[in-house]
């Protein structure tokens, strides 16, 4: 059961990451390059945080504290 939950969390984080990247990278890069560069960093940071949280939950489910 724990593996299923962690896989769902990983999938949700990756889906959000992918959707945000698509949204950011669409449009005219030449006019919005500086703004997009900052947004890409925020999206990557958010996705990394989501994946880290999912891994933390997975490890807690697999190794419960007494």
Give 1-58 pLDDT, tens digit per residue.
556 666 676 677 777 766 666 666 555 454 455 555 666 667 677 777 777 777 777 7
- The pLDDT, as a whole number, for residue 66 is 66
φ, ψ at 17 (rounded to 5°): -60, -45
Spatial separation of the C-alpha atoms in residues 7 and 33, rounded to whole Å: 34
pTM score: 0.40
What DSSP string runs through 26-48? SS-HHHHHHHHHHHHHHHHHHHH
What are the structural domain ranges in the chain? 2-62
């Amino acid at each position: 059961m724990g593996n299923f939950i962690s896989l769902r969390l990983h999938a949700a984080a990756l889906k959000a990451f992918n959707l945000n990247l698509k949204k950011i990278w669409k449009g005219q890069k030449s006019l919005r390059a500086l703004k997009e560069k900052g947004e890409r960093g925020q999206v990557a940071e958010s996705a990394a945080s989501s994946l880290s949280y999912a891994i933390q939950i997975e490890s807690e489910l697999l190794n419960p504290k007494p």
